[in-house]
Amino acid sequence: MSLLKVSGLSKHFGGNKAVDAIGFELRPGELLALIGPNGAGKSTTFNMVGGQLPASGGSVRFDGVELLGMPSRKIARLGVGRTFQIAATFASLTVLENVQMALLSHHRKVYSFWRTAMPRYRDEALRLLGQVGMGEQAGRACSELAYGDVKRVELAMSLAGSPRLLLMDEPTAGMAPAERNALVGLVKSLVVQRNMAVLFTEHSMDVVFAYADRVIVLARGKLIAEGTVDEVRRHPKVQEVYFGTGRTFQAKAGGAVV
Ligand code: ADP
Ligand code: MG
List pLDDT tens digits, range 89-104: 678 889 999 999 889 8
Provide, rounded to the nearest whole percent, the portion of the chain with pLDDT above 90.
72
Residue type at position 168: M
* Average pLDDT over every residue of 230-238: 90
List the domain range (segments joined by +) for residue 112: 80-162
Assess contact for 38 and 241: CB atoms under 8 A: no
Domain assignment of residue 30, yes or no? no
Domain assignment of residue 221, yes or no? no
> What total of structural domains would you count in the chain?
1
Nearest CA to ligand 1 atom 17: 18
How far, in Å, from the CA of 111 to the mean position of ligand 2?
36
* Average pLDDT over every residue of 218-232: 95
Q: What is the pLDDT of residues 164-207, one digit of tens each?
A: 999 999 999 888 999 999 999 999 999 999 999 999 999 898 99
Domain assignment of residue 185, yes or no? no
Domain assignment of residue 91, yes or no? yes
| Cα 185–chain centre separation | 13
Q: How confident is the model at residue 110 (pLDDT cuts 50, 70, 90)?
A: low
How far, in Å, from the CA of 74 to the mean position of ligand 1?
24
The CATH number of the domain holding residue 84 is 3.40.50.300
pLDDT value at residue 91: 82
Residue type at position 6: V
Pairing mode, if any, of strands 197-200 and 31-35?
A: parallel
Q: Nearest ligand, CA of residue 258?
A: 1
36 lines ligand 1 (CB under 6 A): yes
Domain assignment of residue 133, yes or no? yes
pLDDT value at residue 255: 41
Nearest CA to ligand 1 atom 27: 13
Domain assignment of residue 73, yes or no? no
16 lines ligand 1 (CB under 6 A): yes
Q: Nearest ligand, CA of residue 36?
A: 1
Domain assignment of residue 216, yes or no? no
Domain assignment of residue 115, yes or no? yes
